[in-house]
Amino acid sequence: MAGARLPSRTLTALLNTSNGISCVSRLPLKRQSLCSISSRASCSWLRNDVARTCRPSLNPRHYKRYSICPTGLFSTSTTRRLKIENNGKTSQSSRDSEERRPLTSTSTKLAATLKSTLKLDKPRHEQIYNLPNILTFSRLIATPVVGYLIIHNHHLYAFSLFAYAAISDLLDGWIARRWNLQTVVGSVVDPMADKFLMTTLVTCLAVNGSLPMPLAALILGRDVSLALSAFYYRYASLPAPKTMARYWDFSLPSAEVHPTTISKLNTFLQLSLLGTLLCTNLLHDPSATTSAAGGLLMSIQGLLGGEEGVKTIIQGMSAIVASTTMYSGLEYTWSKKAVVILGGDEALKRKQGFRGRMIMASGFGSFIAVAAYLWYNGQAEDDSEKEASKRLGAQSG
């Protein structure tokens, strides 16, 4: 390419980053413009007057006066090489990030698993002083009073306190669900209060002769077996250190109890049977028969067929309760969802659950055998009494 080049001192000043390109306006030449011409080898500047002399084929009217605006300070090959190097660095960095990504995700998952395990194993405390739990504890306190009143034949007061216990049992569950006041302590103490009330009523009514002994043994055996397995579950699932103070600290949950459907139905039928027995005992309480509701009680008994009709109804309800009690007790021996142990060690939880179910099975099985023995002896005594009555009738005849 033909043309005049700028002196080296001027070119150095132009390329100096501190001076910038504005130094072109300081050139001493007048009415001479520079035309930037880029080639594959370098970037150079050509004066337009020289261009007219050296290359007359170029029309000078096509050139306009303008400042120096170099299109590049490096050659095309250098620029291409730099682009390739930059692309190589970018691809290498992307490959490194992709290689580090699986490791980062794995470490994140491991940290989350460890955090969840630590949260499960860390003891936590609950706010147990709320209205549903207060109602549950009041039912626990009222239960021994009900038993005392039954034993001493104060059936009217016993029935009134029993009605309060039944209503509070329904009310505390509704309040807990309505205002989201469920606690692990409530899930344990509420069925415990129900079983304590059931055990007290069954024992006292069996002592009075109102409830058959085989059915009483069956109901008590199921509750006692559940209590033994619950004691084991509490001790086995309690985080270390296992002390007596921590064992009876109900604000430190270690296991959750989830009653089955048949168990809830059985509880309802048992309460219905015991409430019916308390109502029939009112007919033998003078304070109840002479009260304002005494006439209503006698009229209800007459509608049911008198004393014989009431006795037949109680026998039918007893048979239904016996069947549901046996089924619900046996369900606790094979159901793995009835009792959920809290913690992160799944193998230990399975082992503890199996041991608790075996304790339940052995205990309830022995009580079933006792109930069958009592029922067989009762049937034998009834047969002997019938035969003795027939002999007396034949002798008198």
What would the DSSP string read from start to end of 216-276?
A: HHHHHHHHHHHHHHHHHHHHHHSPSS--HHHHT-TTS--EEE---HHHHHHHHHHHHHHHH
Burial class of residue 214 (count of CB atoms within 10 Å of its CB; 0-12, 13-18, 19+): buried
Per the CB < 8 A criterion, the answer to whether 130 and 181 are in contact is yes
Token pair for residue 378? 């009762």
The separation between the first and the last C-alpha atoms of the chain, rounded to the nearest angstrom, is: 155
Burial class of residue 203 (count of CB atoms within 10 Å of its CB; 0-12, 13-18, 19+): middle
Residue 213 has what pLDDT? 92
Per the CB < 8 A criterion, the answer to whether 359 and 229 are in contact is yes
Preceding peptide of 212 cis, ω within 30°:
no
Residue 264 has what pLDDT? 85
Domain ranges of the chain: 8-62, 82-122, 128-396
Residue 164 has what pLDDT? 92
Cα–Cα dist 204/56, whole Å: 131
Mean pLDDT per 10-residue section of the chain, whose length is 397 residues = 50 49 46 46 46 47 48 48 53 54 58 53 66 90 93 90 89 87 81 84 91 92 86 81 80 75 88 89 80 79 82 92 92 81 77 85 92 89 80 74
How many Cβ atoms sit within 10 Å of the Cβ of residue 198?
19
CA torsion angle 53 56 59 64 (round to 10) = -20
Amino acid at 114: L
Tell which residue, 9, 19, 14, has the closest CA to residue 36. 14
Tell me how far the alpha carbon of residue 45 is from its chain's centroid.
79
